[in-house]
Amino acid sequence: MAISALDAPAGTATKDTARTGSKTSRSTGLAEDPLWYKDAIIYELRTRSFYDSNGDGIGDLLGLAAKLDYIKDLGVTAIWLLPLCPSPSKDDGYDIADYMDVHPDVGTIADLKVVIDEARRRGIRIITELVMNHTSDQHPWFQRARRAPPGSPERDFYVWSDTPDRYREARIIFKDFEPSNWTWDRTANAYFWHRFFAHQPDLNFENPAVHAAMFEVVDFWFGLGVDGLRLDAVPYLFEAEDTNCENLPQTHAFLRKLRAHIDAKWQSKMLLAEANQWPEDAAAYFGQGDECHMNFHFPIMPRMFMSIQMEDRFPIIDILAQTPPVPPGCQWAMFLRNHDELTLEMVTDEERDYMYRVYAAEPAMRLNVGIRRRLAPLVGNDRRKMELLNGLLFSLPGTPVLYYGDEIGMGDNVYLGDRNGVRTPMQWNSDRNAGFSRANPQRLILPVIIDPEYHFEAINVEAQQNNTHSLLWWTKRLIALRKQHRAFGRGSIDFLNPDNSRVLAFLREFEGETILVVANLSRFVQYVELDLSKYQGSAPTELFGRTRMPPITERPYFLTLGSYAFYWMALERPPENEAQIRLESYEIPTIEAASLEVLTAGDERHLLEEALPAFLHTRPWFLGRLRMLASTRITDAVRLGQGDSALVAMLVATEYGSG
């Protein structure tokens, strides 16, 4: 049974034993919500690097299933799985050889169903990849096409030419590896078109048969229970002379056709566009709300890193000012790092030079037009910077995407080929192979991190789970807090413009909820005066500690922020005469006790201690009433007088939610 495989000790279950195809009932734990992605927290992981269940050195689907409780505890609500399909794996699975199966290295379709059902039972959705632009040159479609005569339906599945001079204005994306977008094929006796590697020929989307094939693929994955599909390299589907072959009208027409097919056949499914373009071009992939539901905001990512290095909010403000509003029902996907290089295609030449200089001084850290580093090494393993960047990621408009391992501050290995330096095995504990696999270390799909600063013996899940002050625990608290406030996922944004340019401040509003976000982008203490007069009378409440701040008046609101500090504060307007209302609605409880001594100093003292917080909150003479009382404790009591008129003076220790 699949469940018994999950419960077995790691290494005892094999991929072959799961191929009998155990059937698990489809959980109904997730409500059908067509806008679920707006409130989602997405966790991106590479199955091959996450957890190996059978000891062959490669992470697999049953290994992922065994770690779903960790992902649930982290608090995320959706998992984005990198490519799973059969592939020669020359491009980490993005060179697909069969769209409707699972690579035997990671398991079977039955194993994937186990992951989907077990994830849904935990309230987690699954997103995976749809690589529409190209296939592997080993795909049967291409093998038939290269052997078929010109003009035949089989040949027409791909883009061919007798000369490499067509589409000359199209840029070469992988300049480090490819001299041209055309490659000669001896078998076909013609050139084939590819926007990426030469082993990834582009499909011909001028051919309606390709459309029909892609619709069949989409139906297959949604039929398995997948909730969303990331459309890889979507701007490059079509080609046309005298254009750069990107963002063509034909591409948007096809996406509208695909979206209509999905809307007619499926419920609560999502398409996520990977369009590494300037904001105006990227936003076009939402259409009028009739193309993709979500879209990555690539240009904001490098500018967050620029802002904390420059200690200036301008890069963030500037790129968001260039970002068009999205149609209702659509959403940006925001990220700090992912499985690829930190792309610098959508920055100016000056900005690119600056990023290389401050974040990738060594040539080994650079790849294509980007930087191949994880989050922690990018910021010098400075936890304050990591917290600040995540605080911005989780509060700016869009759905946050967290890359596996960044929640514990994993390092990278820039000396591995391609982008593999940021795809190393997850570091679970300090055991052999970081707890990722029982295999001989030399058999691992990629070596574990042994750099002294990021060594798996120091940076791992087990160690951080046992330390409530760790980055992992901080990340869990951040995620939990984000999920409590829908204004972050669905609200409007209004930037404030204080004189201090080192401070970024903005308001998120949704259905009567207003949240103020203030961030210090500097390594030094900063002060800021904010014009919040519109909210005069409101009392900001800091969300992490529920600390009530002084009320807002017509005067500028003054805040001091420590190095790389940020605040999330709810602007809550207290009711008129709040103290009087509280006093009038409070009823003093009656406590029955044998004597005053027993109640104040004996076994029944806890009854009085439990009643005191509510009582003290209604006393105008109690200055601590403006703070949240967590508990009270009677430390001493003195009887004054005798008989029925006796009084008792008590010394009471009060503990507040904020200390």
Any idea which residues carry the catalytic annotation? 232, 274
Considering just the CA atoms, what is the radius of gyration of the chain in Å?
29
CB-based contacts of 384: which residues, under 8 Å, 6+ apart? 563, 564, 565
Comparing CA positions, the residue from 255, 146, 245, 152 lying closest to residue 211 is 255
Q: What's the CA gap between 378 and 385, in Å, rounded?
A: 10
Name residue, tokens 């582009």: 202
Residue 429 phi, psi dihedral angles, 5° rounding: -160, -170
Cα(66)–Cα(435) distance, integer angstroms: 13
Task: Give the number of other CB atoms < 10 A from CB of residue 328.
Answer: 9
**Residue 475 — left, alpha, or beta (φ > 0 → left; ψ -120 to 50 → alpha)?**
alpha
Q: 496, 506 in Cβ contact below 8 A?
A: yes
* Contacts with 9 (C-beta within 8 Å, 6 or more apart), sequence order: none
Q: Which of 51, 73, 49, 75 is nearest to 62 (CA)?
A: 51
Q: Which residue type occupies 659?
A: G
How would you label 230-248 residue by residue, b for 16+ Cβ within 10 Å and e otherwise? bbbbbbbbbbeeeeebbbb
Single-letter residue type at 159: V
- Helix (H) or strand (E) holding 250, with range, is helix 249-265
Helix, strand counts (H, E) of the chain? 19, 24
Q: Which long-range contacts (CB under 8 A, 24 or more apart) does 99-106 make?
A: 99/217, 99/220, 100/217, 100/220, 102/61, 104/15, 105/48, 105/58, 105/60, 106/15, 106/47, 106/48, 106/58, 106/59, 106/60, 106/61
**Residue 343: closest CA among 419, 267, 286:** 419
H or E segment and range at residue 305: helix 300-310
Q: Which is it for strands 78-81 and 557-561: parallel, antiparallel or unpaired?
A: unpaired
Q: Cβ distance 329 to 35 under 8 Å?
A: yes
